[in-house]
Structure 1
Amino acid sequence: MDALPVSTVTYDLGDQAFTDPDVTFFDRHPGKPVPMELAAVVHYPTDLGRTRHPLIVIEHGSWWSCIDRAARKPTGGWPCTRGEGSLRSYRGYGYLATSLAERGFVVVSISANAINAHVLGDAGYLARARLINRHLHMWQQLASTGRGPLRGTFVDPRTGREVRPRFRGRVDTRNVGTVGHSRAGKGVMWQASDKHRSEWPRGVRVRAVLPLAPVYFTPPGGSDRDTLVTKIPVKVITASCDGAVGEEGVQYVDDVEGRNPDASHESIAGGNHNHFNTRWSPGRIGGEDDAIDPCASKISAQEQRRRTRRLVATYFVETLQPSVDE
């Protein structure tokens, strides 16, 4: 299949547009719900045709949330203070989203800076799952009725002008894949788990999950129920030179051995943690190369992303694509 032409839009409902009563501050207002942003970048086939396209949601992990423009250094609060701009980690997977959209997927990469700034521990993974569910709820409303909070919010990132893609009837929210990088890797496992699937919005069905260089952070003897996925395919991708979290994410596959025949793991030899996200890589404010040293097999950022595109696209074509051709 030839690569489809791809268009890109963004939406931003505000830095404090969504609260969940179970997502509370760990720092300045303990016990008070954290207002979270609802912002994303969307890559989609320019010609949506007459079919419904599978939906993929990407969520970034824990990183700096803001940029001090004058000092050209990253900072960690949320919302960003005057003179600062947000560090848009959610825009760091454009290479991956474009590759998927070329194959017929609608890809939504969401911002999670409020969580990074104010929520820690298991509450942070719950928060990431609830944030995904909120975006999925909005997309279900838009795709089924043309209404809801997303109506009239799409903007061309090049011109800043409002655009109106015809997503109604063209996005299949019952055929969803999720990708989570780093801490969001555990976040998507939490959201997709057997224990938490009852929290999926009505009209939404997640059919495949992909933790990308995920954290694991479950102590020996601790319960894995919050992240146990036995009912849908799981593919864990790690990197052999990852100096941030290593390759412990393979444990998600080990946890379901004998219970999920569609759980698999693949390692990118020579890859590191931050090169999965272009905004976290050297050359950007706050970006750094976190490969373990020495790492004899280390590969370039470009090669790592090329391999990531191939692995991720192959996985979702196998697990989600059939609905496009029905």
Structure 2
Amino acid sequence: ALGLFIATIVVVADSVLHRSMLPFPTYDRVANAVRGVREAVMYGVGMVVLATVIAHMPWRYRLMLGACAGVLASSFPFSTDDRVLWVSVIAFSVAGAALAVISREDISAITRFQKGIAIIGIVFGILTVGYLLYWVMNPGFDAIEYRNAAREAETDGTASVVGLSLTDPSERGPHEVLYLTYGSGADIRRPEFGRDADLITETVDGRPFLANWIGRSGDERKDFWGFDRDELPLQGRVWYPDGDGPFPLVLIVHGNHSMYEYSDPGYKYLGELLASRGYVLVSVDENFINGNISQENDARGWLLLEHLKVWDRWNEGEVTGGSGKNGARESSVGDNEQTFNPFIGEIDMSRIGLIGHSRGGEAVTIAAFFNSLPYYPDDATVPFDYNFDINAVIAIAPVMGQYQPGGRYTDLSDINYFVIHGANDGDVSSFSGASQYEHVTFSGGPYRFKSSLYVMGANHGQFNQVWGDRDSRLPSGRSLSTRSLIAERDQRKVAEVYISAFLEATLRGQLNYLPLFTDAREGKQWLPETAYLVEFDDARSMKVATFDEDVDVTTTTLAGGSTMAQNLTVWREQRISMKSRTKETAGVYLGWEVLEDRNGDDVAYEHEEASDESDRESTEGNVATNLDDDDITPRYVIDLPEQFVVDPSSALFFSLADANESSKAPAHLRLKDEEQDNQHRQDLGTQELERSQDQNNSNSNNEEEDKGGPREPIDFTIRLVDTRSNVAEVLLSRFSMVQPQLEVQLRKTFVDDPRTDSEAVFQSFLLPLEWFLEANPKFDVSRPARIEFVFDRSPSGVVILDSVGFRTAPTS
């Protein structure tokens, strides 16, 4: 004990000496050191007291306490909160002790006081167990109240969206739907891929792609499935139209889930819908690489390409054995052998789409990436020779970066891409697909586009009929709050509308559906009521500023342009942060705060519609230098290069997201405000000063009341100036407003308030140049010289601006 004490004193003295005394002792440094020593001593004393208490307990209880507490600590729900663990341990122990007391044979010897204590212990235990059961069974919280910016822009009368006058893409089509399965014929778990398979396929060697199929995990798979990684089966469920083709081919693949709960049947709703509309949809079985495995998404993508090879051979006329029990067309080979192939010449291999969910969402990206490569990037001894006509890639709540070829994220070029994600995703909780969206680029040539959709109230699992509303396996999945989810049928309706419309646009050239991929309100007659955020880009977009070129805030992506800002409290360019990653792109953060002036008047610019042509037309002058220094309205300005010309039928586009950060001026600017306040006090008399303070207090109280409700959408003015200095203005809300970040509470808590999460998700804005011509008929829509974002409508806010440019509509 003496040796331990002396050693501790030496170590503490050395630490205190260097942390609080050398080279210059200060009061704060010494106080912090003393506080740290005091907390350590108290912790040590507490441990001694706890050990002493436990030492006086019966040995049987000590044994059970050590064993059971350790097991409970790693078990749901006690693993979610240490406080719940120890309160429960105490409650269970007290209840057990109380039951032991009142069950004694000589209960008459127990005093009334002891009986009372025993009853209290039993009640305590019952209440604890009851609360635990209630917490486990409770579906969680209602959705957090929010303001729907797109809806309010319509109800306020500033935006008017009629909706597409097209056929609902989620409606069943004219074709009768047929169904069959194909597989190895040797599946020992599922007859539909085994003895009852309609079509038989050969196995493939997955060893180069499944390095983690080893050890206990590999043995478990081999024992359960009956095969090893060198003989992976190619198996799928096929929904196809009854009729004459050729039909587009679409493959859909699930993500990671328990391999004992098969995921591939979960897309039956999409299979039946798309087959009725003239597509062949295959739900690919990759359950054998689900579960406790990692770094396998390259294998998932490679398997999709191997499936396409099979379909290419079938389309060319290869026949195969199988049961044909689901009505496949027969052809006779030899005297005794029956072979089947209903797809000879029925598949349009020039129109292929891939759909993936979760890890499958990354797998389809990898498949499209591998498709054009000559060799496997991680091992060039594995040759590739695919080169299929993959025209559409759809990712449902995908992960990103689980597989990185050569240590890089997967880039796609000149391919149509669509990603959908739910705000209430309890598995992939951050919008990872928004990052992959940034890695899809266009180089010209045939028309291509990409779009992302963020759905409030949608989770991860309800896109799959097997997975349902639990985004993690039981029992831990019971910690998720499911009450705030939209109905499962509504979530699948969103998927049906958007996936079908995307395939119609990309595989059949029905570009009339394109507006749906910029503005979800174009499909409001088909979609359930919730908040949607949609981002869009295409091969015809001429980018002026993407903010990715450098860290100079005054430069633009387009050579010869420049930017400037006036009266902003926030102005910086940076990578856009999300919950658990960055968006793989930069944006400009713009913040403003318009306060009352010294007389209590609003100093924000008041937007007024031009009353006549003279009001609309500014004087001739140099548009690069004609900002009014006396105008304190916050604004961000992009000056376009000289000789810049656009098609008059174009539209101005940009993407905006709410930054959800303070718009307060930085400290060095607030110091100037304080100096002005001091001068203000000297200039005002006592009575006027008191009146001003009363007004400020009233405003402060109103601000506190506003904090209790949802944040308001942000609106401002978009101003264009042409080369002759003619000015035309359009309100942002004529299209929509900036949606405040959508807040969700994914997990239940025992004691604390639930954690609220949100992230910056972008909405694309599209303002036709004809709107600016309506505002000022003298405005030259072909020669814009300046773009101004004038923050004159909302008194404060911080937005993230990205991807500014002009776009012409594609020809159908």
TM-score interval (norm. to shorter): 0.7 to 0.9
| Partner Cα distance (2:432, 2:303) in 1 | 25
**2:328 is equivalent to residue 126 of structure 1:** no
Residue in 2 that maps onto 1:176: 352
1:188 aligned to which of 354, 357, 364: 364
1:155/1:219 CA distance change after superposition, 3 Å = closer
Residue in 1 that maps onto 2:456: 269
1:105 aligned to which of 275, 279, 287: 279
Whether the 8 Å CA contact 2:248–2:348 is kept in 1: the answer is yes
- What do the CA deviations read for 1:187-232 (whole angstroms, capped 9, x no partner)? 1111112x65236755721111001110113699x9544x211221
After TM superposition, give the deviation of residue 20 of structure 1 in Å.
Answer: 2.6
Which 5+ residue runs of structure 1 have no aligned equivalent? 67-86
**2:386 is equivalent to residue 210 of structure 1:** no
Residue in 2 that maps onto 1:22: 208
Which 5+ residue runs of structure 2 have no aligned equivalent? 1-166, 168-172, 188-201, 219-227, 331-337, 375-383, 511-812
1:12/1:297 CA distance change after superposition, 3 Å = same
After TM superposition, give the deviation of residue 157 of structure 1 in Å.
Answer: 5.9
Residue in 2 that maps onto 1:72: none
After TM superposition, give the deviation of residue 169 of structure 1 in Å.
Answer: 0.4
**2:473 is equivalent to residue 301 of structure 1:** no
1:191/1:291 CA distance change after superposition, 3 Å = farther
- What do the CA deviations read for 1:142-178 (whole angstroms, capped 9, x no partner)? 001233xxx23364469xx999462100101221100
Whether the 8 Å CA contact 1:25–1:119 is kept in 2: the answer is no
1:28/1:139 CA distance change after superposition, 3 Å = same
**2:283 is equivalent to residue 114 of structure 1:** no
- What do the CA deviations read for 1:221-253 (whole angstroms, capped 9, x no partner)? x9544x211221010111111110022211111
Name the SS of the counterpart of 1:197 in structure 2. Answer: coil
1:119/1:295 CA distance change after superposition, 3 Å = closer
Name the SS of the counterpart of 2:180 in structure 1. Answer: strand
- What do the CA deviations read for 1:29-49 (whole angstroms, capped 9, x no partner)? 88x8453232110000012x1
1:136 aligned to which of 292, 298, 308: 308
1:94/1:201 CA distance change after superposition, 3 Å = farther
**2:321 is equivalent to residue 146 of structure 1:** no
| Partner Cα distance (1:272, 1:290) in 2 | 13
1:88 aligned to which of 262, 265, 277: 262
After TM superposition, give the deviation of residue 303 of structure 1 in Å.
Answer: 0.9
Whether the 8 Å CA contact 1:281–1:289 is kept in 2: the answer is no
- Indicate the structure with greater helix content: 2
Whether the 8 Å CA contact 1:208–1:232 is kept in 2: the answer is yes
After TM superposition, give the deviation of residue 256 of structure 1 in Å.
Answer: 3.4
Residue in 1 that maps onto 2:258: 64
Whether the 8 Å CA contact 1:237–1:268 is kept in 2: the answer is yes
One-letter amino acid of the structure 2 residue matched with residue 206 of structure 1: I
After TM superposition, give the deviation of residue 269 of structure 1 in Å.
Answer: 2.2
| Partner Cα distance (1:321, 1:292) in 2 | 44
Greater CA deviation, 286-295 or 267-276?
Answer: 286-295
One-letter amino acid of the structure 2 residue matched with residue 197 of structure 1: S
Residue in 2 that maps onto 1:8: 179
Whether the 8 Å CA contact 1:136–1:201 is kept in 2: the answer is no
One-letter amino acid of the structure 1 residue matched with residue 344 of structure 2: R
2:373 aligned to which of 175, 198, 205: 198
Residue in 2 that maps onto 1:81: none
1:52/1:23 CA distance change after superposition, 3 Å = same
1:306/1:118 CA distance change after superposition, 3 Å = same
Residue in 1 that maps onto 2:437: 253
After TM superposition, give the deviation of residue 109 of structure 1 in Å.
Answer: 0.7
1:140/1:192 CA distance change after superposition, 3 Å = same
Residue in 1 that maps onto 2:417: 234
| Partner Cα distance (2:210, 2:475) in 1 | 30
- What do the CA deviations read for 1:240-298 (whole angstroms, capped 9, x no partner)? 11110022211111233676961210122211111111111269xx6899699557752
- What do the CA deviations read for 1:48-96 (whole angstroms, capped 9, x no partner)? x1x3111000111001112xxxxxxxxxxxxxxxxxxxx3311110001
| Partner Cα distance (1:276, 1:239) in 2 | 10
Name the SS of the counterpart of 2:278 in structure 1. Answer: coil
1:291/1:59 CA distance change after superposition, 3 Å = farther
Whether the 8 Å CA contact 1:25–1:34 is kept in 2: the answer is no
Whether the 8 Å CA contact 1:128–1:184 is kept in 2: the answer is yes
1:279 aligned to which of 463, 466, 488: 466
| Partner Cα distance (1:133, 1:257) in 2 | 22
1:154/1:231 CA distance change after superposition, 3 Å = farther
1:242/1:312 CA distance change after superposition, 3 Å = same
2:248 aligned to which of 18, 32, 54: 54
Whether the 8 Å CA contact 1:61–1:181 is kept in 2: the answer is yes
Whether the 8 Å CA contact 1:274–1:280 is kept in 2: the answer is yes
Whether the 8 Å CA contact 2:251–2:282 is kept in 1: the answer is yes
| Partner Cα distance (1:211, 1:291) in 2 | 26
Residue in 2 that maps onto 1:44: 240
- What do the CA deviations read for 1:104-132 (whole angstroms, capped 9, x no partner)? 100111111222257421xx111011110
1:258/1:144 CA distance change after superposition, 3 Å = closer
One-letter amino acid of the structure 2 residue matched with residue 53 of structure 1: F
Name the SS of the counterpart of 1:278 in structure 2. Answer: coil
Whether the 8 Å CA contact 1:25–1:33 is kept in 2: the answer is no
Name the SS of the counterpart of 1:266 in structure 2. Answer: strand
Name the SS of the counterpart of 2:503 in structure 1. Answer: helix
RMSD of equivalent CA atoms: 3.5
| Higher relative contact order structure (alpha carbons within 8 Å, sequence separation ≥ 6) | 1
> TM-score, length-normalised on structure 2?
0.33
Whether the 8 Å CA contact 1:271–1:298 is kept in 2: the answer is yes
